[in-house]
Amino acid sequence: MLDLEILPEISLGCDAWEFVLGMHFSQAIAIIQSQVGIIKGVQVLYSDTNPLGVDIIINLPQDGLRLIFDPVVQRLKTIEVFNMKLVKLKYGGVYFNSPEVLPSIEQIEHSFGATHPGVYDAAKQLFALHFRGLSFYFPVDSKLHSGYAHGLGSLVFLNGASPVVSKMSLYAGSNVAENRAPLLPLSCYHRQMYLESATVLRTSYGHTKGLKLKLFTEGSGRALEPKRKCFTRELLFGDSCEDVATNLGAPNRIFFKSEDKMKIHSSSVNRQVQSKRSDIFFNYFTLGIDVLFDARTQTCKKFILHTNYPGHFNFNMYHRCEFQFLLESDHPPPATESESSKQLVQHHDQHVNVTAYTKWDEISGSLATSERPVVLHRASSTNTANPFGSTFCYGYQDLIFEVMPNNHIASVTLYNTAPPRQPAHSWQQHKMQDIRLTVA
Beta-bridge mates of residue 253: 283
**Mean residue pLDDT across the chain:** 84
Separation of alpha carbons 51 and 311, rounded Å: 9
pLDDT category, 433, cuts 50, 70, 90?
low
| Helices (H), ranges, 179-277 | 241-248, 268-272
Confidence of residue 339 (pLDDT cuts 50, 70, 90): very low
- The segment(s) of the chain belonging to CATH 2.60.460 are 2-178
pLDDT above 70 covers a percentage of the chain that reads 79
At 384 the pLDDT is 59
Euclidean distance between CA atoms 342 and 39, whole angstroms: 60
Q: Residue 439's pLDDT is what?
A: 45
pTM: 0.85
**pLDDT recorded at residue 162:** 77
Q: Determine the pLDDT at residue 5.
A: 97
Mean pLDDT score, 91-116 = 90
Best-predicted range by mean pLDDT among 144-158, 222-236, 331-345? 222-236
Could you give the dihedral angle defined by the CA atoms of residues 225, 230, 231 and 235, in that order, rounded to the nearest 10 degrees?
Answer: 120
The percentage of the chain sitting over the pLDDT mark of 90, rounded to a whole number, equals 62
Which of the listed CATH numbers 2.30.30, 2.60.460, 2.60.40, 2.40.128 matches domain 2-178?
A: 2.60.460
Q: Is 97 exposed, middle or buried (0-12, 13-18, 19+ CB in 10 A)?
A: buried
Q: Which of 24-33, 174-183, 417-426 has the lowest mean pLDDT?
A: 417-426
**How crowded is residue 30: how many other Cβ atoms within 10 Å of its Cβ?**
14
What's the confidence (pLDDT) of residue 344? 38
